[in-house]
Amino acid sequence: MKAMVIDRVCDLTCEKEPLRLVDMPVPSPGPGEVLVRVSACGVCHTELDEIEGRTPPPRFPVIPGHQVIGFVEACAEGAGRFAVGDRVGVAWIYSACGMCKFCRQGDENLCDRFLATGRDANGGYAEYMTVPGSFAFPVPETFSDIEAAPLLCAGTIGYRSLRLAQVTDGDNIGLVGFGASAHLVIQMARHMYPASKIFVFARSAGEQEFARELGAVWAGDTVDTSPEKIDRAIDTTPVWGTIVHALKNLERGGRLVVNAIRKEEIDKKELLGLSYPEHLWLEKEIKSVANVASRDVREFLELASRMQIRPEVEVFPLEGANRALIELKERKIRGAKVLKIT
């Protein structure tokens, strides 16, 4: 099979082809696993974090990709939940122990033995992959393969962020950054909280205009002061300075949810400008998001189907994965980028 692999950690400001196209054997599913013939895989900022060493794979080479749509090609013993030919999705959560207190309460994302698709195990930048059957998810027929791929991470992590934000209908909602995840969050928020106003903070004029097209009442730069205070904010950016500016715009008792696996080091000095009276006092909260749990994937896919969420996508061939990643690094973004595998 064809696959794009990460061989090493590198700096994408210098390296423009971080992935290597290889030919390798089709994997065999182990006990409880299914073999998936991959049809589409979303491209995520987390792949940049893996390549640049902020959340590096434990070993190389590894096949990245964790927004996977495909069809069950074979089922090993113990994977009877699916039949050959079923369409499934695979998200960032590849497996967890199933026994610890976090797994028992439905928070497998906090499990010490959490494994990530495309980092700790081979992912979807390939024609085939294996996954434990309990961490493959049926995909609603509402979506094409290309449309469904971004829902497995950009949509699901956005849904978890919105849940953790504890929004009450009528709250002012702030979205900081407007890439693949935020353009789905705004669609969710408008459906779930129709009385709320949504304010978007994004660096590029194109992203700001896109946010207004999708229903933002206001869109400005990440350093701007919003015309009204924000009750609940979600930061989807890879940088630090946005946290300081979001806290500045947060209402008393407000909550900022930081939706990122890692933050880049390029602007960490911005935190030196953090002022307790201006940014944190009066019971403001910061909440981080760690990965996703199975219930997030299941609930969001069902919700997205009911709401008829439609991601905006730009499609690349598997061999175009490097170009997609470099465009993501350079912030050439409108919606989500998806690899069409087969």
71 and 111 together in one domain:
yes
Say yes or no to pLDDT of 333 above 80. yes
43 and 65 together in one domain:
yes
Residues 6 or more apart whose CB falls under 8 angstroms from that of 112 comprise 97, 100
195 and 132 together in one domain:
no
- Residue 269: per-residue pLDDT: 76
Number of domains in the chain: 2
Q: Which residue has the higher pLDDT, 331 or 72?
A: 72
**Continuous H helices in the chain:** 45-51, 101-104, 145-148, 154-165, 182-192, 205-213, 241-249, 294-307, 321-329
CATH number of the domain to which 230 belongs:
3.40.50.720
Report the DSSP pairing between strands 137-138 and 173-176.
unpaired
The residue range of the domain holding 310 is: 2-153+292-340
148 and 173 together in one domain:
no
The CA dihedral of 137, 142, 147, 152, to the nearest 10 degrees, is: -20
- Residue 281: per-residue pLDDT: 86
> What is the pTM (predicted TM-score) of this model?
0.90
9 and 144 together in one domain:
yes
Q: What angle, rounded to 10 degrees, do the helices at 154-165 and 182-192 form?
A: 50
DSSP 296-310: HHHHHHHHHHHHT--
145 and 25 together in one domain:
yes
Euclidean distance between CA atoms 122 and 124, whole angstroms: 7
Query: In percent, how much of the chain has pLDDT > 70?
Result: 99
How confident is residue 36, by pLDDT bands cut at 50, 70 and 90? very high
Please, what's the b/e burial string for 302-338 (b: 16 or more CB within 10 A of its CB; e: otherwise)? Answer: ebbbeeebebebeebebebbbbbbbbbbeeebbbbbb
Say yes or no to pLDDT of 90 above 90. yes
- Residue 246: per-residue pLDDT: 95
Report the DSSP pairing between strands 87-90 and 33-43.
unpaired
2 phi, psi to nearest 5 deg? -90, 145
206 and 329 together in one domain:
no
* Contact call for residues 6 and 51 (beta carbons, < 8 A): yes
CATH number of the domain to which 57 belongs:
3.90.180.10
**Which amino acid is it at 327?**
E
238-250 confidence digits (pLDDT tens): 888 899 999 999 9
- Residue 253: per-residue pLDDT: 97
6 and 144 together in one domain:
yes
What are the start-end ranges of the E strands in the chain?
Answer: 2-6, 19-23, 33-43, 68-75, 87-90, 93-95, 115-116, 128-132, 137-138, 173-176, 198-201, 218-220, 230-235, 250-258, 285-288, 313-317, 336-340
Over residues 196-208, mean pLDDT: 96
- Residue 83: per-residue pLDDT: 94
144-173 confidence digits (pLDDT tens): 999 999 999 989 999 999 999 999 999 999
91 and 149 together in one domain:
yes
Mean pLDDT for the chain overall: 94
Q: Which residue has the higher pLDDT, 13 or 70?
A: 70
Over residues 251-278, mean pLDDT: 83
The structure tokens 């589409």 sit at 40
Euclidean distance between CA atoms 12 and 6, whole angstroms: 13
144 and 170 together in one domain:
no
Say yes or no to pLDDT of 264 above 80. no
25 and 142 together in one domain:
yes
243 and 317 together in one domain:
no
